[in-house]
Amino acid sequence: MNNNNTQIVTEDLNHIWHPCTQMKDHETLPLIPIKRAKGVYLYDFEDNRYIDAISSWWVNIFGHTNEYISSKVKEQLDTLEHVLLAGFTHKPAVDLANRLVEITPKGLEKVFFADNGSSAVEVALKMSFHYHKNMGENRPLFLSLSNSYHGETIGALSVGDVELYKDTYAPLLISCIQTPVPFDQTIESANIAIKELKKILEKRGSEISAFIIEPLVQGAGYMNMYHPIYITKAKDICQRYGVHLIADEIMTGFGRTGTMFASEQANITPDFMTLSKGLTGGYLPLAVVMTNNTIYNAFYCDYSEYKAFLHSHSYTGNPLACSSALATLDLFQQSDIIGENRKKSAYILEKLEKFKTLPNVKEVRQTGMISAIELKGYKAQERIGLKVYQYGLDNGVLLRPLGHIIYFMPPFIITYKQIDKMIDTAYNAILQL
Ligand SMILES: *Cc1c(COP(=O)(O)O)cnc(C)c1O
């Protein structure tokens, strides 16, 4: 690594403990210091550039330093940077709540702000449990899909099912059981999974507050994808047992799956919807939990009845974050992003055809602007994901495989030429494994 890059890396390792990282890896695996970014590109201190094929952990849906979003945040910066949201309000929060209610499935009328995805999940879990309690019912259990991921704070971790993140903390977790996720995108496997869901709810439905799902795509769960019919049926069954459905659209929201929200493809309105990641276009941390008036009204009474939802975060509804979210929503209105995405997805899928003939490729799958290539025949210790990652960086593309799954989740502004580069690099990375 050259000098300008080396210096900052050395300084970094003196004091920074990085997320989701075995720090010892950095004895051999160089950190990539990023100086600036524009569009799909990240630039290091030597001006090498990398296509951000994973939208920086799925948040930068319009790429980096977008002129329009930047200008809106700058405007807000000189007007009101922050004020508490208890007892006070401000225009960015009000406008954002209005617009979210407008664009999300009908019936989601109330917006509770949080400042990251995991917190939003915690809020949804607490609200659901508390709703039942306010209604005179004790439902101390949650239900989630096998292989699911909902964040890493204790409550969010409890409803997830990725062993790597969860097992160590097992003694600390709240009660949650899993029902099998459909194992592929066919209607048949959706129906098999629905049978299992029915059995669990028949047996334990009255103990369960909510069933939380990642609709259509399990992101951190190796990009497992399933048919929308599962969600449609699950909503119906949950309703029969008084179990809330929480659609965790933190990753799938804002156009990622081919519609504005994944729940639309199942034609349902969940009882709770959690949103974050793409919400601010990757500018600032913000999250929301949306719910319906029935749930809201179960908390609405005289203070002395002690039914209020007394949950808060310091940065709840931060005006700068809200302004970047509003600007992000503007971008969806200014051009047909979803329509353009459909064309790009089709193009990506066509380009992925040639992967299917490789002997170490098990499956190629896609939902909207998420595409994944599942490799086969490797052991976990081989860390082939790391090899692909390294090859990508050496060739100007940030790929960050999940184990043996190479996936693309690029910013929506990616051009066809950049798509070619991204996919050809992944192809060559697989060839040299
Ligand atoms: C990323 C993610 C979360 C957690 O969000 P953070 O902001 O990282 O805490 C929760 N649910 C899903 C589906 C996610 O993809």
Q: Are 112 and 128 in contact (CB under 8 A)?
A: no
Last residue of a domain, one of 308, 333, 358: 333
Regarding whether 266 and 222 lie in a shared domain, the answer is yes
Given a contact cutoff of 8 angstroms between Cβ atoms, the answer to whether 38 and 64 are in contact is: yes
Whichever domain contains 383, its CATH number is 3.90.1150.10
Q: Are residues 57 and 76 in the same domain?
A: no
Same domain, 61 and 102: no
pLDDT attached to residue 32: 93
Structure tokens at 20: 């989701």
The values of phi and psi at residue 281, to 5°, are: 65, 20
Let me know whether 267 and 177 are in one domain. Answer: yes
How far apart are the C-alpha atoms of 292 and 107, rounded to whole Å? 6
Entry pTM = 0.98
Whether residues 40 and 88 share a domain: the answer is no
Domain annotation covers residue 6: no
What is the 8-class DSSP label of residue 369?
T
Return the SS3 of 212.
Answer: strand
Q: Are residues 115 and 233 in the same domain?
A: yes
Determine the Cα–Cα distance for residues 275 and 267; give it in Å rounded to an integer: 18
pLDDT along the chain (433 residues), means of 10: 79 96 93 96 96 98 98 98 98 98 98 98 98 98 98 97 90 97 98 98 98 98 98 98 98 98 98 98 98 98 94 96 98 98 98 97 98 95 94 97 97 98 98 94
Distance separating alpha carbons of residues 7 and 99, to the nearest angstrom: 45
Q: Is residue 153 part of a domain?
A: yes
Q: DSSP states of 222-279 as a string?
A: TTEE--HHHHHHHHHHHHHTT-EEEEE-TTTTTTTTSSSSGGGGGT---SEEEE-GGG
Bridge partner residues of 213 (DSSP): 247
Asked if residue 352 lies in contact with residue 333, where contact means CB atoms within 8 angstroms, the answer is no
Nearest Cα to 59, choosing from 322, 385, 412? 412
State the distance from the centre of ligand 1 to the C-alpha of 359, rounded, in angstroms: 33
Starting at the edge strand that comes first in sequence, how are the strands of the sheet with 41-44 ordered?
34-38, 41-44, 49-52, 397-398
**115: Cβ below 6 Å to ligand 1?**
no
Final residue belonging to a domain, choices 299, 318, 333: 333
In this prediction, residue 6 carries a pLDDT of 85
Please check whether residues 149 and 292 belong to one and the same domain: yes
Nearest to 132 by CA among 334, 295, 280: 295
Phi, psi of 395, deg, nearest 5: -115, 20
Q: Do the domain assignments include residue 7?
A: no
Nearest CA to ligand 1 atom 3: 151
Q: What is the pLDDT of residue 30?
A: 87
Give the H or E element holding residue 370: strand 370-375
Query: Could you list the residue range(s) of the whole structural domain that residue 145 is in?
Result: 70-333
What φ, ψ does residue 397 adopt, rounded to 5°? -135, 130
| Substitution candidate for ligand 1 out of 277, 313, 400 with most atoms within 8 A of CB | 277
Which of 61, 157, 250, 274 for mutating ligand 1's site (highest number of atoms within 8 Å of CB)?
A: 250
Examine the domain organization and report whether 362 and 329 are in the same domain. Answer: no
- Establish if 15 belongs to a structural domain: no
What distances in angstroms separate CA 344 from CA 15, 341, 352, 418, 420, one per listed residue? 41, 5, 12, 11, 11
Please check whether residue 13 lies inside any domain of the structure: no
Mutate to test the pocket of ligand 1, among 58, 60, 148, 149 (most ligand atoms within 8 A of CB): 149
Please state, in angstroms and rounded to a whole number, the distance separating the CA atoms of residues 346 and 121: 32
Residue 214 in contact with ligand 1 by CB distance below 6 A = yes
Atom in ligand 1 nearest the alpha carbon of residue 218 = 13
Q: What is the pLDDT of residue 87?
A: 97
Q: Is residue 382 part of a domain?
A: yes
Burial call 47-79: b when 16+ CB within 10 Å, e when fewer: eebbbbbbbbebbbbbbbebeebeebbeebeee
Residue ending a domain, choose from 306, 333, 360 = 333
Give the separation between CA 179 and CA 164, rounded to whole angstroms: 19
pLDDT at res. 4 = 73
Q: For residues 419 and 348, is the Cβ–Cβ distance under 8 A?
A: yes
The answer as to whether 20 is a domain residue is no
List the structure tokens of 85: 């949201």
Q: Which secondary-structure segment (H or E) carries 361?
A: strand 361-367
The Å distance, Cα 209 to ligand 1 centre, comes to: 21
Total domain count, the chain: 2
**Residue 433 in 3-state DSSP?**
coil
147 lines ligand 1 (CB under 6 A): no
Query: Are 180 and 129 found together in one domain?
Result: yes
Say which CATH number the domain at 300 has.
Answer: 3.40.640.10
- Closest ligand 1 atom, residue 214 Cα: 13
Residue with tokens 């909510």: 210
The answer to whether residue 1 sits within a structural domain is no
Are residues 299 and 427 located together in one domain of the fold? no
- Residues 217, 223: Cα–Cα separation, whole Å: 6
Kindly state whether residues 314 and 189 are assigned to the same domain: yes
Are 319 and 252 members of one domain?
yes
Q: Which residues contact 326 (CB under 8 A, 6 or more apart)?
A: 72, 92, 95, 96, 99
